Amino acid sequence: MDITIGVFDSGVGGFTVVRELKKLLPDQPLIYFGDTARTPYGTKGHKTLIQYAREDTRFLLGHGANLIVIACHSAASAATSALRQEFSVPIFEVVSPSVDQAIALTRRKVIGLIGTRATVTSGVYEDAIHSRLSGARVYSQACPLLVPLVEEGWLKARETRMIVKKYLRPLRDRQIDTLILGCTHYPLIKGIIQEKVGKRVKIVDASAEVARAVYSYIKAGVQVSKDAIGEDRFFVSDLTPATQGVARLFLGSQVQLEMASLGCKG
Amino acid sequence: MDITIGVFDSGVGGFTVVRELKKLLPDQPLIYFGDTARTPYGTKGHKTLIQYAREDTRFLLGHGANLIVIACHSAASAATSALRQEFSVPIFEVVSPSVDQAIALTRRKVIGLIGTRATVTSGVYEDAIHSRLSGARVYSQACPLLVPLVEEGWLKARETRMIVKKYLRPLRDRQIDTLILGCTHYPLIKGIIQEKVGKRVKIVDASAEVARAVYSYIKAGVQVSKDAIGEDRFFVSDLTPATQGVARLFLGSQVQLEMASLGCKG
């Protein structure tokens, strides 16, 4: 059976995952849904996130996806179990592959995590690391300003550098040796993060890790598509010129965004 | 007839309007709805904002409000006309009273506006000023980072001061003599804004202006409540500890937030 990959995210940040998927699986058909009408997810509560993730998944399945990638760390942290209970398709998400990689990389078992408030509060990363690596210490830092800074396009601004430094100081003080970038937006400022956390710290890019996991799965079980069966499609629930600008920032090229309602209006 | 004031906003920023209303009308019953499940509105598109504003208004009317205050500048900019066509209750909003006050204060007819991207893009402030003050020049600046900075609680941080300065520089260069704070969050950093835009610039606080407008209306037409008819109620569509923290920041005191669905879930 041919696989159509369905990727959802709170907005267009998940394009960092798409970019990595396209490197590994350039011809595999892909449907994207970015819930820009309700973005961001990182400030929302647990139950609300489960509800949103369920709606996003249904949208993708309804458009032909038969493998789901939760590109949003906040949604992955809150909703993965609920989605796996409800839907029978394979569901990949950004947390587990990042944890795997962090465990593989850490030498002193001192791991740092940065993410949105929802991701950090959920404790999902800590739980996953502790359950698989005894004696590990995990230090987390919510960084609510990094997403708006990236979306403002201030990727090299002095203010961004100062704020990254401020957020990372507690993790640096704890002498972490590995840092998980627990948010789709952070790969765009990976250089600054590396500089401010210290050059010796290993950085885990969750967007790349989940793409590798999907690639392994598809390669092991089914034939990788060599011919595009259809065009990739990129849906968003709200479309503004700013959204298109951010999409370009993330994908590095122009992409046709289509507006789609979740059928839950009015 | 007794008036129950219904106030809605994208989140808890509208509490700056509530605070001003309570100064003038301490015993007037009030219902608040903050759409924290879909916050912020400032990044969303025109049609989406009309839909959200309509749903928020229906919620308030359904809970007994018979006068609506649109506390959110983004929603006011996009949706005021649509709401007035659809609903027969009086609808107040933050734009018109701010424009009135700016026109009253400006001497050289050079007015600045800061707000979210949605508010600035809408052009509603410019149109309103130009239609009423011939020869006026209006300079607008979207400041997407100020809301997250305020919500992070960095009200006096060095980073906040730098970013405010950066955003205000173009307006300062234009030698504005009056500045409209076109977002509910900005009164919390009014001191920094005043400092960075220059001490001589007159600042219009939209939250205070809309409260004055509502006060005049109620005072002119109906008896101002002297006895509380019921408790004020504060609803939000998503409730997290962070939301409660931000609410406290805005109202200056603890407030009981109630979770409420808009009845639009999957």
Q: Tell me the domains of chain A and their CATH numbers.
A: 5-93+208-259 (3.40.50.1860), 95-206 (3.40.50.1860)
Both structure tokens of A237: 């629930």
pLDDT at B265: 42
d(CA A201, CA A105): 10
- B266 interfacial to chain A (CB closer than 8 Å): yes
pLDDT at A266: 35
Both structure tokens of B261: 């669905």
Flag whether pLDDT at A87 surpasses 60.
Answer: yes
d(CA B11, CA B183): 12
The C-alpha angle with vertex B14 and arms to B209 and B207, in degrees rounded to 5, equals: 10
pLDDT at A223: 59
pLDDT at B255: 86
- pLDDT bracket for residue B266 (50, 70, 90): very low
pLDDT at A255: 86
CB count within 10 Å of CB B249 equals 16
- A244 interfacial to chain B (CB closer than 8 Å): no
Q: Do B45 and A158 touch (CB under 8 A)?
A: no
Residue scoring higher pLDDT (A2 or A44): A44
Residues A59-88 have a mean pLDDT of 96
Q: What mean pLDDT value characterizes chain B?
A: 93
pLDDT at A149: 96
Flag whether pLDDT at A202 surpasses 90.
Answer: yes
User: Are A78 and A56 spatial neighbours (Cβ–Cβ below 8 Å)?
Assistant: no
Strands A178-182 and A137-142, by their bridges, are unpaired
- pLDDT bracket for residue A263 (50, 70, 90): low
Active site residue B72: yes
Strands A233-236 and A257-259, by their bridges, are parallel
d(CA A87, CA A107): 37
d(CA A153, CA A249): 8
| Four-CA torsion B235, B238, A185, B121, nearest 10 degrees | -30
Residues 6+ apart with CB under 8 A from B139: B110, B111, B112, B113, B170, B171, B174, B176
Task: Calculate what percentage of chain B has a pLDDT beyond 70.
Answer: 95
Flag whether pLDDT at B1 surpasses 80.
Answer: no
Q: Do B36 and A54 touch (CB under 8 A)?
A: no
Flag whether pLDDT at A208 surpasses 90.
Answer: yes
- A151 interfacial to chain B (CB closer than 8 Å): yes
Both structure tokens of A250: 């993330």
Asked if the interface predicted TM-score (ipTM) of this complex is over 0.90, the answer is: no
Flag whether pLDDT at A184 surpasses 50.
Answer: yes
Chain B positions in Cβ-Cβ contact with residue A51 (cut-off 8 Å): 265-266
Share in percent of chain B as helix, strand, coil (round to 5): 50, 15, 35
pLDDT at A230: 66
